[in-house]
Structure 1
């Protein structure tokens, strides 16, 4: 009973993000009078240099997925003669369909043959909003990673109806539903084929992402189509028990949306009619979360994340995984959940999540939802991956800036770690925040370079060891939060 109620709690959560939170980083932030040209397979790219960092932005890694190419696997990117301007980011996929662009940021002196490590960032946003360079203060372009000798790539992928949509008429054409994931694979193939021109090593690529981007990392770990395209992976707040939507259910939703837009049938004529519609004419039903996302298509996605890892289907590469102490902060808290539980279950939850006996129902539910959605699934995945003999590191981010303590009484919110990982200079850090940000940026860079964050951060096994990034610095923990995670594990639907 309690597991069903907790599952319902997760299903009812509504993510309180606004599109403005993902506004594209301003092009002026990268303006420079110095240019730098790099030749890729499609043609020459003229980027800019600022403070010894080179920016090549708005690179089309695939053809515009519009018209007849809507809801098709990404086609080869355009070629051009002369120099293509690469001084500004391309359009975001939450704004336009012609959006399959990526950005490369690197040390200005890097050259072909240097074989610098490569990091590829996959943004979050519930598969509905987001952009490669604009999450929560901007700076996800990777400038600070480039300062550490990394070639950093950030990419757009199709969102919402454009990226995650199924309909029987489309299923008949071939690979279906997960067009955004197909874009991610295509971007990684572009990196494999072109990153050496920027001084990067195509054999030393780390994929990493947060929230929906973290979920994407795990599905790429499980996808045969992505095999060999990366050598390491990082999942941040990655919902590691995510289960894809069954294809039949996704198709039924697609048929419903098509009929609402005036398109009947399941044949080629219906597919053609759908491609002529404005995407906005295909309505959503329900809340923000669950509008779009991975579909069990049987080709790119063949099962849930935890099930895939348990079966040993994941890429055998080093993995970092973790989440924040109050992931539920961006979800509507449901204190009434406690009152709806049987007395014995309520007592067990209160004992594990409120050992001080405060009776603060909101605090308990925030912690409970966080453990159910992120922290326990992270531990489970770490166990599975490390148990398969793969190097695995687990983290827990609980740092709350002293200046934000009153606003964040229950801990670090979903997405809070992003600006610390990137060391985002435009994110409004106070001086006391900088040491932790510098440490995290360095640890992520170390992992990309060597496959390990550093000796101060032990592997998950033995001892189920993790590190906590908190207000007392970086601390090594063993069996962290064991009592509450064991309880949540027992509550998981079997």
Structure 2
């Protein structure tokens, strides 16, 4: 059976394999443009007949062109869609209700989509899950502050509201695809993982999911003042007034172009503060409404203690950003000292990394500090805060490396995702993993897929939680077997925790 009855109409999918049906591009909300631009999402309209859902829907406005992924075309409107992979055993009948995994893509809240090849849900569906991947508004459309805010009908954090609307759709419709709306796990990577952390403390999302997986959660949330200042910069670059009328009058392409211009200005100006190093203009806004608290503080206060949490970060996060040229090159001690000052890092933090990496060049020290600042240490703290607040929490690190003719492929940002999805063989992920996967790579991926599926099923990924008295409370994913299981999060060449003792998150100060 490849036709499914949703509350809005019939949807036709296709056999992604003999045992899995994929249904792509299903609208979960109305197109967020025209009179509905910069507003909270509205329910998707019903359709008549059978809707063809055999290809991904349009993606949100952005300038990125990612390997193997569709690009945004100005004029695309129906961007709030989701995709489903569901197992169909012999006989063609859906099984009983299966656990559901909902994936939120990353991309610095500025780029990315559910159609990226590394997010194909086939392997996880074969492991017994109903897999859902979603598009949501990004960039200014999703996270830019519009003056007047919610009182004027333009709430902050529209991208988060889209995610909530997608989860409501899952609650109401996923049973038609064999999924259990009472057993939903949300998962994401980078800004998608930070979105997961935000959803954990949002009243609007309460009860819509039961477990959470955060791959390399990104640390910053922005105050209203920071968001307002960013809007003024974007409006100036777009040549429009920083008013609801002015921003609405310019098309999405103009705001994408303006965003790229402002980012480039920060990159070119070493005196522009913390945004010079890797400009991220958008992040969830601490508006006290949609997002009532900073996720780390909210989780520490027990806002999500009833949600099981699994955190995974890579040991060399920021080497990817350096490899793709998206962050500043810091190669002198003077530049490194300015970096620490711009981010308000505690005295002695950089020295602590130097002591742990005595023979490393300045660039490597900088990348290690920056990676832990944005991802590694922040992820560790999320996990530990949740455990202290009474939430069942699992922590893991991805530490797989590979040598090759072009040098070492590190355990860097995003590298763990195709292993967890079982998508190693797609050519588009070759750069992330260093070329053709080896048998050891496939074995590592098989174990990660199984752990993620088991966690989504019953909350047990296969290693002790942080609240258990065990020496192996941190799972380390590495090549072949489990030779590094049981190491602490402080082990490894670039994972340094002690110097962070005096740092408070968030520490970003645009």
* Cα deviation code 1:114-141 (max 9, x no counterpart): 110000000001111101021xxx1413
1:444 to 449, 452, 476: 452
* Cα deviation code 1:59-91 (max 9, x no counterpart): 000001110111111111021111000111101
Q: Where does structure 1 lack aligned partners over 5 or more consecutive residues?
A: 1-34
* Match status 1:336 vs 2:332: yes
Partners of 1:235 and 1:82 in 2: CA distance: 38
Asked if 2 retains the 8 angstrom alpha-carbon contact of 1:101 and 1:155, the reply is yes
Distance of aligned partners of 1:413 and 1:78 in 2 relative to their CA distance in 1, 3 Å threshold: same
Please identify, of 368-377 and 428-437, the stretch whose mean Cα deviation from structure 2 is larger.
368-377
* Match status 1:47 vs 2:13: yes
Please identify, of 340-349 and 326-335, the stretch whose mean Cα deviation from structure 2 is larger.
340-349
Q: Which residue of 1 aligns with 2:184?
A: 205
Distance of aligned partners of 1:449 and 1:275 in 2 relative to their CA distance in 1, 3 Å threshold: same
Partners of 1:248 and 1:165 in 2: CA distance: 12
Partners of 1:343 and 1:148 in 2: CA distance: 48
1:218 to 188, 197, 203: 197
Q: Which residue of 2 aligns with 1:173?
A: 152
Q: CA RMSD in A?
A: 2.5
Partners of 2:371 and 2:412 in 1: CA distance: 10
TM-score, normalising length from structure 2? 0.81
Partners of 1:359 and 1:37 in 2: CA distance: 57
* Cα deviation code 1:302-342 (max 9, x no counterpart): 23222112222235211000200110111435243576389
Q: Which residue of 1 aligns with 2:247?
A: 274
Distance of aligned partners of 1:111 and 1:398 in 2 relative to their CA distance in 1, 3 Å threshold: same
Shift of 1:209: 0.2
Q: Which residue of 2 aligns with 1:62?
A: 29
* 3-state SS in 2 of match to 1:177: coil
Distance of aligned partners of 1:347 and 1:260 in 2 relative to their CA distance in 1, 3 Å threshold: closer
1:350 to 343, 351, 354: 354
* 3-state SS in 1 of match to 2:119: coil
Shift of 1:478: 4.5
Partners of 2:500 and 2:95 in 1: CA distance: 49
Q: Which residue of 2 aligns with 1:391?
A: 392
Q: Which residue of 1 aligns with 2:164?
A: 185
* Cα deviation code 1:173-228 (max 9, x no counterpart): 24612111110000000000000000100000000000010000000001000000
Partners of 2:347 and 2:170 in 1: CA distance: 55
Distance of aligned partners of 1:335 and 1:302 in 2 relative to their CA distance in 1, 3 Å threshold: farther
Distance of aligned partners of 1:265 and 1:129 in 2 relative to their CA distance in 1, 3 Å threshold: closer
Q: Which residue of 2 aligns with 1:6?
A: none
Count of residues in correspondence between the two structures: 444
Distance of aligned partners of 1:256 and 1:363 in 2 relative to their CA distance in 1, 3 Å threshold: closer
Q: Where does structure 2 lack aligned partners over 5 or more consecutive residues?
A: 63-71, 267-277, 341-345, 430-435
* Match status 1:300 vs 2:312: no
Q: Which residue of 1 aligns with 2:368?
A: 367
Shift of 1:260: 5.0
TM-score, normalising length from structure 1? 0.83
1:471 to 462, 468, 479: 479
* 3-state SS in 1 of match to 2:3: strand
Structure 1 or 2: more strand by fraction: 1
Partners of 1:370 and 1:263 in 2: CA distance: 36
Shift of 1:281: 2.2
Partners of 2:236 and 2:354 in 1: CA distance: 48
Asked if 2 retains the 8 angstrom alpha-carbon contact of 1:371 and 1:488, the reply is no
